[in-house]
């Protein structure tokens, strides 16, 4: 073989793609290995490979919801030349499930990588909502630095604080990106000062406070060190990452890897994803899996993958610092450690904040049971909740004393509603009770979760909002004027936030921006006034008629359309008074052979109120359920029969 082919062999070895060797040089991988061994290249290649592995940057992107994380990752992927020039990529490439695209939020963290000037940059996109804090906490362990993305107008928001605090505690080096500087009312310098103050208040180290700042607009695909001089690319940010984020430290010794995420393939089953902490992992290697509780399982790595672009490529070994996926490891959970076969040493498991809210999940026992869904039995729902526990660290599931019921605890209404919505789309039928906060007893005192609530509203609505929040036991902490809008900060019980969003949006004509995050447990604040209006309940099963609804419109607001199928005990509207009212919406007009002028005027119906899943969960009372099926969502009384309900209320 000529020198060029040897050089090519070296290159291909470094790329860890032995199948390419076969294609390019025209010899089998066994022959290639034989040839490499004869020339003594294996040791050389391995050393060069290890040197190249130093040239890695692991970085997490953290920010408040809607500040542009996923859009920025899109532009970084384009800058890494991952796509053909004529390839249509679309937007928000990483938000690839339907729920994420519909809601415009990131729910699950994603791993991708790009190559820039010979450096491999592993990018981890994280959710912005504090409800998905479990996702953020586990993936930050894989990073050496973070990009803190801040809106040039809004500045740091509650969730920014939440994820930044986690990142600083781990010791990540931050790069601040002030995004959306093309907005007409932006204030980049002020926002930079606010970020510095925030970091200082979160007790950042001297090194962390000495952070570089990049300004730009991810949407318009430019980044610069000066916000007044736009460029036509985002290379300023990529250069900043390569210069400022430290390469992973190469730790020699027995291999260790903390499982921080999991993937699933219908061919190979569950795949463990994590960052190699120490040593080297190889394909076909025997390893020990140390569980969180200390149990040890012997296993074998069948395949090794590293992240490249939007996908994964097979490799023969990975060393300390790289993020990889292991195929063939059985029985693992997030937080377990993959370590040496002979001398297993476990890494400390991931610490996760405890849930603050719980909900009752029950099998669907309404008269319309089993009409829409494929999975309707208690076994189906139980198995699905157990599968969710594998990857959703912040979730807790406890079997209720009653058969076919579970108490599911999570971080907030959004966290639990995403789970319900996912199950609904998969074909499950279930019923969900009113969200309840989780109380704790601290030093003999009953305590409840308190949240930091931020509401940004136009000035003219501020007094209404303040009145509304203080009625729900909210305490104002801060009030600042930002041009025509006012930023209000409150400490508020989690109970008071349930059902608040709808009222705030109504009171502010849809102008309010509301965000909240868990702060701490404080002594119980006393009773909070929830929904005061009663429900209108269907008297009997059948089809709702416009004639009947028309005659009852003065009694309250309806939630159903004419010709909708209803059943006895279903909540069909909101009563204008505080008591429940049983009504007959299935009554039709009796036909006669008499005609009279003016008696058959057209029915004029007010459009019914349509709830989203979160709004319905926040709306229902203690004695009501939300029935969720793949095609419908209904509210109902727990006890459907009117006489039984009266009996239960008396007792």
Quote the pLDDT of residue 130: 57
**Cα dihedral across residues 126, 129, 131, 137: positive or negative:** positive
Residue 197 has pLDDT above 50, yes or no: yes
- What radius of gyration do the chain's Cα atoms show? 29
**Read out DSSP for 516-566?**
EEEEEEEE---------S-EEEESSSEE--HHHHHHHGGGEEE---TT-EE
Task: Give the Cβ contact number of residue 1 at 10 Å.
Answer: 11
User: Would you say 437 and 472 are in contact if contact means Cβ atoms under 8 Å apart?
Assistant: no
Number of alpha carbons in the 13 Å side-chain half-sphere of residue 97: 13
Look at 72-81, 255-264, 268-277 and tell me which has the smallest mean pLDDT: 72-81
Query: Which tens digits make up the pLDDT trace of 84-127?
Result: 444 444 444 444 455 544 555 555 566 778 888 888 888 887 77
Query: Which tens digits make up the pLDDT trace of 564-578?
Result: 999 999 999 999 998
Quote the pLDDT of residue 20: 37
pLDDT band, residue 428 (cuts 50/70/90)? very high
Rounded mean pLDDT of 408-419? 86
Tell me the backbone φ, ψ of residue 645, rounded to 5 degrees: -60, -45
How buried is residue 538: exposed, middle or buried, by Cβ count under 10 Å (0-12/13-18/19+)?
buried
pLDDT mean across residues, the chain: 80
Rounded mean pLDDT of 500-514? 83
**Read out DSSP for 269-299?**
EEEEEEEEEESEEETT-EEEEEPTTS-EEEE
Percent of the chain with pLDDT over 90: 18
- Residues with Cβ within 8 Å of 260's Cβ and at least 6 positions away in sequence, in order, are 138, 139, 141, 142, 273, 274, 275, 334, 350
Tell me the backbone φ, ψ of residue 533, rounded to 5 degrees: -75, 145
The size of the chain, in residues, is 651
Residue 213 has pLDDT above 80, yes or no: yes
Sheet holding 173-179, edge to edge: 110-116, 119-125, 56-63, 145-151, 173-179, 213-217, 222-224
Strand partners, 61: 125, 147
Compute the distance between CA of residue 271 and CA of residue 325 in angstroms, rounded to an integer: 6
Rounded mean pLDDT of 414-438? 90
Quote the pLDDT of residue 594: 62
For residue 304, give both structure tokens. 């090794």
Rounded mean pLDDT of 407-422? 87
Compute the distance between CA of residue 278 and CA of residue 290 in angstroms, rounded to an integer: 15
Number of alpha carbons in the 13 Å side-chain half-sphere of residue 468: 21
Compute the distance between CA of residue 49 and CA of residue 122 in angstroms, rounded to an integer: 17
Rounded mean pLDDT of 342-370? 85
Pairing label, strands 213-217, 145-151: unpaired
Compute the distance between CA of residue 372 and CA of residue 628 in angstroms, rounded to an integer: 10
Quote the pLDDT of residue 273: 86
Compute the distance between CA of residue 306 and CA of residue 441 in angstroms, rounded to an integer: 46
Residue 224 has pLDDT above 90, yes or no: no
pLDDT band, residue 593 (cuts 50/70/90)? low
For residue 217, give both structure tokens. 């607009």
Tell me the backbone φ, ψ of residue 307, rounded to 5 degrees: -80, 130
How buried is residue 359: exposed, middle or buried, by Cβ count under 10 Å (0-12/13-18/19+)?
buried
User: Would you say 56 and 248 are in contact if contact means Cβ atoms under 8 Å apart?
Assistant: yes
Residue 33 has pLDDT above 60, yes or no: no
Residue 72 has pLDDT above 70, yes or no: yes
Which of the two residues, 203 and 70, has the higher pLDDT score? 203
User: Would you say 368 and 567 are in contact if contact means Cβ atoms under 8 Å apart?
Assistant: yes
Residue 647 has pLDDT above 70, yes or no: yes
Compute the distance between CA of residue 103 and CA of residue 464 in angstroms, rounded to an integer: 28
pLDDT band, residue 385 (cuts 50/70/90)? very high
For residue 156, give both structure tokens. 């740091």
Which of the two residues, 501 and 53, has the higher pLDDT score? 501
Quote the pLDDT of residue 115: 84
Number of alpha carbons in the 13 Å side-chain half-sphere of residue 46: 12
Query: Which tens digits make up the pLDDT trace of 287-297?
Result: 888 888 788 88
Look at 79-83, 448-452, 554-558, 579-583 and tell me which has the smallest mean pLDDT: 79-83
b/e code 30-47 from CB counts within 10 Å (16+ = b): eebbebbeeeebeeebee
Secondary structure (3-state) at 330:
coil
User: Would you say 620 and 637 are in contact if contact means Cβ atoms under 8 Å apart?
Assistant: no
Look at 511-525, 541-555, 593-607 and tell me which has the smallest mean pLDDT: 593-607
Which of the two residues, 236 and 131, has the higher pLDDT score? 236
Residue 144 has pLDDT above 60, yes or no: yes
Residue 333 Cα distances to 209, 270, 271, 422, angstroms: 36, 10, 10, 21
Taking the complete model, does pTM exceed 0.85, yes or no? Answer: no
Compute the distance between CA of residue 30 and CA of residue 27 in angstroms, rounded to an integer: 8
pLDDT band, residue 57 (cuts 50/70/90)? confident
* Residue of 452, 388, 407 lying closest to 130 (CA atoms): 452
Which of the two residues, 14 and 223, has the higher pLDDT score? 223
Max avg pLDDT among 77-81, 126-130, 282-286, 333-337: 282-286
Angle between helix 413-425 and 378-391 (nearest 10): 120
Rounded mean pLDDT of 513-536? 84
């Amino acid at each position: 073989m000529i020198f060029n082919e040897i050089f090519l062999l070296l290159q291909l070895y470094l790329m860890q793609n032995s199948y390419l060797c076969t294609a390019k040089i025209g010899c089998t991988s066994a022959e290639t290995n034989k040839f490499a061994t004869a020339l003594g290249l294996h040791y050389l290649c391995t050393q060069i490979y290890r040197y190249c592995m130093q040239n890695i940057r692991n970085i997490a992107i953290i920010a408040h919801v809607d500040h542009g994380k996923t859009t920025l990752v899109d532009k970084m992927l384009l800058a890494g030349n991952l796509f053909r020039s004529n390839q249509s990529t679309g937007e928000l490439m990483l938000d690839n499930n339907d729920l994420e695209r519909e809601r415009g939020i990131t729910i699950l963290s994603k791993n991708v990588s790009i190559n820039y000037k010979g450096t491999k940059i592993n990018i981890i996109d994280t959710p912005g909502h504090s409800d998905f804090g479990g996702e953020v906490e586990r993936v930050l362990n894989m990073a050496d630095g973070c990009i803190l993305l801040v809106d040039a107008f809004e500045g740091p928001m509650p969730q920014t604080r939440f994820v930044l605090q986690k990142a600083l505690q781990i010791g990540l080096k931050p790069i601040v990106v002030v995004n959306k500087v093309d907005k007409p009312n932006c204030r980049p310098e002020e926002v930079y000062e606010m970020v510095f103050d925030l970091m200082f208040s979160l007790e950042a180290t001297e090194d962390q406070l000495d952070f570089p700042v990049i300004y730009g607009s991810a949407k318009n695909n430019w980044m610069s060190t000066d916000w007044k001089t736009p460029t036509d690319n985002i290379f300023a940010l990529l250069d900043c990452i390569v210069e400022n984020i430290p390469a992973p430290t190469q730790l020699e010794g027995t291999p260790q890897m903390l499982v921080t995420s999991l993937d699933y393939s219908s061919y190979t089953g569950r795949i463990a994803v994590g960052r190699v902490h120490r040593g080297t992992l190889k394909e076909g290697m025997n390893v020990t899996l140390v569980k969180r509780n200390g149990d040890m399982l012997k296993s074998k790595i069948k395949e090794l993958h590293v992240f490249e672009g939007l996908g994964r490529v097979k490799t023969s070994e990975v060393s300390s610092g790289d993020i990889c996926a292991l195929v063939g490891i059985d029985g693992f959970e997030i937080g377990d450690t993959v370590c040496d076969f002979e001398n297993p040493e476990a890494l400390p498991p991931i610490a996760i904040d405890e849930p603050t809210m719980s909900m009752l999940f029950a099998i669907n026992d309404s008269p319309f049971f089993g009409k829409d869904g494929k999975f309707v039995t208690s076994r189906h729902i139980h198995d699905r909740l157990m599968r969710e526990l594998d990857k959703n660290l912040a979730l807790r599931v406890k079997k209720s004393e009653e058969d076919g019921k579970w108490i599911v605890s999570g971080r907030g209404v959004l966290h639990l509603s995403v789970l319900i919505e996912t199950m609904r789309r998969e074909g499950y039928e279930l019923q969900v009770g009113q969200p309840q906060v989780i109380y704790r007893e601290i030093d003999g005192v009953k305590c409840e979760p308190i949240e930091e609530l931020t509401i940004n509203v136009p000035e003219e609505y501020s007094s209404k909002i303040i009145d509304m929040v203080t009625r729900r036991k909210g305490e104002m902490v801060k009030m600042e004027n930002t041009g025509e809008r006012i930023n209000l900060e409150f400490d508020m019980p989690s109970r008071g936030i349930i059902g608040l969003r709808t009222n705030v949006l109504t009171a502010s004509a849809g102008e309010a921006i509301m965000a909240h995050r868990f702060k701490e447990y404080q002594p119980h604040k006393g009773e909070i006034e929830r929904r005061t209006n009663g429900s209108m309940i269907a008297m009997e099963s059948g089809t709702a008629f416009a004639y009947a609804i028309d005659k009852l419109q003065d009694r309250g607001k309806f939630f159903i359309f004419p010709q909708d199928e209803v059943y006895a005990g279903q909540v069909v509207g909101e009563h204008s008074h505080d008591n429940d009212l049983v009504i007959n919406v299935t009554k039709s007009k009796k036909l006669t052979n008499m005609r009279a002028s003016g008696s058959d005027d057209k029915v004029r119906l007010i459009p019914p109120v349509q709830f989203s899943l979160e709004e319905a969960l926040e709306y229902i009372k203690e004695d009501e359920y939300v029935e969720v099926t793949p095609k419908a969502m209904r509210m109902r009384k727990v006890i459907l029969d009117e006489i039984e309900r009266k009996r239960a209320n008396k007792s």
